[in-house]
Chain A
Amino acid sequence: MSIEVLTLLFFGALLFFLVLGLPLAFVLGGVSVVFLYFTWGFDSFFMVASQIWSTMESFTLVAIPLFVYMAMILERTGVANDLYRMMHLWWGGVRGGLAIGTLGICALFAAMCGISGAAVVAMGTIALPSMLERGYDKNMALGCINTGGGWGILIPPSILMILYALITGVSVGKMFAAGVLPGLLLMVLTIAYIIIRCYFQPHLAPALPPEERASWAEKFRALRAVILPIAIVIMVLGSIIGGITTPTEAAAVGVFGALISAVVYRKFTWKLLHEASIRTFKLTGMIMWILFAAHAFSAAYQSMGAQELIEGLMQMIPGGPWGVILSMMLIIFLLAMVLDPVGIMLITLPVFMPIVESLGFDPIWFGILFVINMEIGYMTPPFGFNLFYLKGVVPPNITMRDIYLSIIPFVLVEIVGLALIMIFPEIATYLPDLFF
């Protein structure tokens, strides 16, 4: 059977069982096993077990339970809620203030952590209830967490950039430097979107009613709420930048900070630790089983000859250098609807990179486009990690439909950002050229 037909059947089966309501992890795993049986034979199931073992052995994933644990403790102690109360008091007059504040916290999280799942789960736990409680529209709240949570792979440090560098041979340092301005650009664009949208539709993100707005004394008193979170951020970021810890170890420093705040808030009890542990276990486990199956799925797809398909597609592409770049973006965008980022990299980059370079484009710049596209992929239906991570933490009355719908404007904003970086490559290349 040709790879084109296989691809259709493979992804078709994925969608079919997804729509029927089987949990994502089992859809990915089950479809892989069935297709492996017909294309490679029974013995190839060993590959599934082997991929899972390798995922268990991946040290960088240790950051997930720790960052989630940190968030759970912060939420239970009330630090998170105080933080949002403070934001509301100060930004009371600004429509969408909490959403903007959330994006800021997302950006900080992104600077502490090289992966994207932990931030989505953490913000889904901390920020979502706070925003909903204060009358925010659920689409606004969900969408901004979804989009901000993905920045972890664009703002350095970033595991995905390191992998990109390893596969393509560009400098990691340059990639990191290149990610900073595009990260800020996306943040500015998203904030601009929120401000404009909420200006016209105030009910989406209501400002604090004038009579409830605080006096200056109250505002300053509320500021105490930021002391602890800021101290934690300084601890975590400082330990990475100061050469004290690796990004993964920094997650443990974050937990330490959260525990200190628990003590300061006089909430430090065995019960708190246990409850936070259990919630962390549920969320991390959910993420990990999706990753287990996703790794098996992309390995299965590669074994069927995914790369051949990409090679074939590239030969049919029309229209000059920009036609090629745009087609590549489209292919990545489509693949990102159903595959995990590492799988996409392994399938596409070996085919794309020689072409990109022969057309005279900067591989660093292309890398940034690639990473942003992955970020978009994280939140596009049907299959986007962020969507599922978020689904795992939201209250039951929020459905997958809500989550799917919430991302539409935010995806458009990211696409605008992507287009801007395509048109003005300097946004990506300015810093690396300056520093290296």
Chain B
Amino acid sequence: ADTTTWKVQSHWPGSSSSYEDSLGRLKRVIEERSDGRLKLDLYESGALFKPKQTFEAVSRGILEMGTISPSYAQDKMTLAGIASGLPFAFRNVWETAYFHQGLGFEQMLRDEAAQYGVYWATDKVYPTEMVIKNPINSWEDFTKLKIRSSGALQKFLTEAGAAASYIPGSELYPALDSGVVDGAHWGAAQGAYSMGLYEVAKYHVKPALNIAGTDVIIVSQKALDKLPEDLQNIVKQALDEQFWFRTNEYQYKERVTLAKAIAEEDVQVNTLPEDVQQRLTQTAQKMWDEEGERSERAQKALTMLKDYLTELGYL
């Protein structure tokens, strides 16, 4: 039978656990179920396209598949801000998972991406957490911090009173080591571990800054349509399963990695004091509304989110 080969551009570098766990898995599942009729060629972050260009390349159909963070598609996706995580909204990973799959946020994302010829499938939902060099025991400790951040979280941390600046990933380690910044977030425990951040920052901050669908698999609709129907179903089904499998597995690995960091690198968990959490939540809520202003869709998603959080008893 005919074999189709897809070029898949990852936004993960090879050492990121997700490269193997998410893309490696997806490749195995799809190649196995299609009896080798559909093959995926994986490319590490930046090989063909840089992360911020991958959505565009998939949208043009030059790439058949890719992985991104929603924030890399901000210019097209008005829902991207909400998808990449409003700070201090959810408190547990399952809540975010239910928001996506149970309440229909995932479908809203898929509808918006469809306008650009892209099939959107969130890879997993997971927390973004900070590591810092000195523990936060008071509000003052927090406002004294210099934090490496990016995107919406940078704005949030600045607004909350810390000194947040953007430093590219390639300079993060030396910056943290020498004290240019006292803290940073790069994913959560696994991200920090893979970047070696625990070597130079010994406190892992809980709770999460946000919990969100920060990793997304995108497929070119054109490429999908070219497949015979049974293959299309195999791909879509594999993507649907991927969300649940990876969300669950990621949490397991987070815990294992944090335990390892605690054992090997003397890392301590620094739980933010109650009053600090409260003040951060207040600042965060003021910022949420801005995301709703981007489009009618975003407004609808935000209303849905707020109703949901009220229902959960958080608002």
Whether chain A touches chain B in the assembled complex (some CB pair under 8 Å): yes
- Using a CB–CB distance below 8 Å, which chain A residues touch chain B? 40, 43-44, 46-47, 50-51, 53-54, 57-60, 114, 156-157, 159, 162-163, 165-169, 171-173, 176, 240-248, 299, 302-303, 305, 342, 346, 349-350, 436
Give chain B residues whose Cβ lies under 8 Å from the Cβ of A342. 46
Measured CA separation A342–B50 after assembly (Å): 13
| Residue among A46, A176, A242, A245 making CB contact with B62, cutoff 8 Å | A46
- Whether a CB of chain A sits under 8 angstroms from the CB of B175 is yes
Q: Are A50 and B47 in contact (CB under 8 A)?
A: no
Instruction: For residue A431, give the distance in angstroms from its CB to the closest CB of chain B.
Output: 14
User: Which of B99-107, B165-173, B285-293 is found at the contact surface with chain A?
Assistant: B165-173
Q: Are B179 and A243 in contact (CB under 8 A)?
A: yes
Q: Are A50 and B44 in contact (CB under 8 A)?
A: no
Residue of B with least CB distance to A435 = B199
Q: Are A60 and B170 in contact (CB under 8 A)?
A: yes
User: Which of B53-61, B77-85, B247-255 is found at the contact surface with chain A?
Assistant: B53-61
Q: Are A50 and B49 in contact (CB under 8 A)?
A: yes
Give chain A residues whose Cβ lies under 8 Å from the Cβ of B50. 50-51, 54, 57
Measured CA separation A302–B45 after assembly (Å): 12
Encoded as 1 (CB less than 8 Å from any A CB) or 0, chain B from 1 to 24 comes to 000000100000111000000000
Measured CA separation A305–B5 after assembly (Å): 12
Q: Are A60 and B44 in contact (CB under 8 A)?
A: no
| Residue among B15, B168, B195 making CB contact with A60, cutoff 8 Å | B168
- Whether a CB of chain A sits under 8 angstroms from the CB of B310 is no
Measured CA separation A243–B175 after assembly (Å): 7
Q: Are B62 and A44 in contact (CB under 8 A)?
A: yes
Give chain B residues whose Cβ lies under 8 Å from the Cβ of A169. 14-15, 194
Within 8 A of A (CB), among B116-175: 167-171, 173-175
Give chain A residues whose Cβ lies under 8 Å from the Cβ of B61. 43
Measured CA separation A246–B148 after assembly (Å): 12
Instruction: For residue B223, give the distance in angstroms from its CB to the closest CB of chain A.
Output: 13
- Whether a CB of chain A sits under 8 angstroms from the CB of B48 is yes
Given contacts A169-B194, A172-B173, A436-B199, contact A53 B53 (CB under 8 A): yes
Given contacts A169-B194, A176-B174, A242-B178, 7 further A-B contacts (CB under 8 A): A46-B56, A47-B48, A54-B46, A172-B173, A246-B175, A303-B48, A342-B46
Residue of A with least CB distance to B182 = A243
Q: Are B62 and A43 in contact (CB under 8 A)?
A: yes
Instruction: For residue B39, give the distance in angstroms from its CB to the closest CB of chain A.
Output: 12
Q: Are B171 and A303 in contact (CB under 8 A)?
A: no
Q: Are B170 and A162 in contact (CB under 8 A)?
A: yes
Measured CA separation A28–B25 after assembly (Å): 36
Within 8 A of A (CB), among B60-102: 60-62
| Residue among B13, B41, B178 making CB contact with A243, cutoff 8 Å | B178
Instruction: For residue A434, give the distance in angstroms from its CB to the closest CB of chain B.
Output: 14
Given contacts A240-B178, A349-B14, contact A171 B196 (CB under 8 A): yes
Residue of A with least CB distance to B165 = A246
- Whether a CB of chain A sits under 8 angstroms from the CB of B180 is yes
Give chain B residues whose Cβ lies under 8 Å from the Cβ of A302. 43, 47-48
Give chain B residues whose Cβ lies under 8 Å from the Cβ of A247. 171, 174
Q: Are B179 and A168 in contact (CB under 8 A)?
A: no
Measured CA separation A294–B52 after assembly (Å): 19
How would you classify the secondary structure of chain A's contact residues: helix, strand, loop or mixed? helix
Measured CA separation A60–B172 after assembly (Å): 12
Measured CA separation A43–B64 after assembly (Å): 13
Q: Which of B52, B61, B174, B180 has the most CB of A within 10 A?
A: B174
- Whether a CB of chain A sits under 8 angstroms from the CB of B200 is yes
Q: Are A173 and B177 in contact (CB under 8 A)?
A: yes
| Residue among B14, B44, B200 making CB contact with A173, cutoff 8 Å | B200
Give chain A residues whose Cβ lies under 8 Å from the Cβ of B167. 246
Measured CA separation A139–B179 after assembly (Å): 43
Instruction: For residue B205, give the distance in angstroms from its CB to the closest CB of chain A.
Output: 20
Instruction: For residue B44, give the distance in angstroms from its CB to the closest CB of chain A.
Output: 6
Residue of A with least CB distance to B168 = A59
| Residue among B57, B168, B171, B177 making CB contact with A50, cutoff 8 Å | B57
Measured CA separation A277–B7 after assembly (Å): 43
Give chain A residues whose Cβ lies under 8 Å from the Cβ of B170. 60, 159, 162-163, 166
| Residue among B41, B60, B196 making CB contact with A43, cutoff 8 Å | B60
Give chain A residues whose Cβ lies under 8 Å from the Cβ of B56. 46, 50
Measured CA separation A57–B166 after assembly (Å): 14
Given contacts A346-B47, A436-B199, contact A167 B13 (CB under 8 A): yes
Residue of B with least CB distance to A343 = B47
Q: Which of B7, B44, B195 has the most CB of A within 10 A?
A: B44
Q: Are B196 and A47 in contact (CB under 8 A)?
A: no
Measured CA separation A53–B179 after assembly (Å): 31
Measured CA separation A40–B50 after assembly (Å): 18
Q: Are A167 and B43 in contact (CB under 8 A)?
A: no
Residue of B with least CB distance to A347 = B47
Instruction: For residue B3, give the distance in angstroms from its CB to the closest CB of chain A.
Output: 15
Instruction: For residue A178, give the distance in angstroms from its CB to the closest CB of chain B.
Output: 13
Instruction: For residue B246, give the distance in angstroms from its CB to the closest CB of chain A.
Output: 19
Given contacts A173-B177, A246-B180, A247-B174, contact A299 B48 (CB under 8 A): yes
Measured CA separation A246–B176 after assembly (Å): 9
Sample 7 A-B pairs with CB under 8 A, ordered by A number: A50-B50, A50-B53, A165-B15, A173-B173, A241-B178, A244-B180, A246-B175
| Residue among B41, B47, B53, B173 making CB contact with A162, cutoff 8 Å | B173
Give chain B residues whose Cβ lies under 8 Å from the Cβ of A305. 41
Q: Are B60 and A350 in contact (CB under 8 A)?
A: no
Measured CA separation A97–B167 after assembly (Å): 40
Give chain B residues whose Cβ lies under 8 Å from the Cβ of A166. 13, 15, 169-170, 194-195
Given contacts A60-B168, A349-B14, contact A172 B62 (CB under 8 A): no
Residue of B with least CB distance to A157 = B174
Give chain B residues whose Cβ lies under 8 Å from the Cβ of A57. 50, 52
Measured CA separation A215–B179 after assembly (Å): 46
Closest 5 pairs between A and B when the two form their complex, measured CB to CB: A243-B179, A169-B15, A54-B50, A243-B178, A172-B173
| Residue among A53, A54, A167, A248 making CB contact with B44, cutoff 8 Å | A167
Q: Are B196 and A165 in contact (CB under 8 A)?
A: yes
Instruction: For residue A309, give the distance in angstroms from its CB to the closest CB of chain B.
Output: 13
Given contacts A157-B174, A243-B178, A246-B175, contact A299 B57 (CB under 8 A): no
Give chain A residues whose Cβ lies under 8 Å from the Cβ of B173. 162, 165, 172-173
Measured CA separation A302–B47 after assembly (Å): 7
Give chain A residues whose Cβ lies under 8 Å from the Cβ of B171. 59-60, 114, 162, 246-248
Instruction: For residue A163, give the distance in angstroms from its CB to the closest CB of chain B.
Output: 7
Q: Are B199 and A171 in contact (CB under 8 A)?
A: yes
Residue of B with least CB distance to A175 = B196
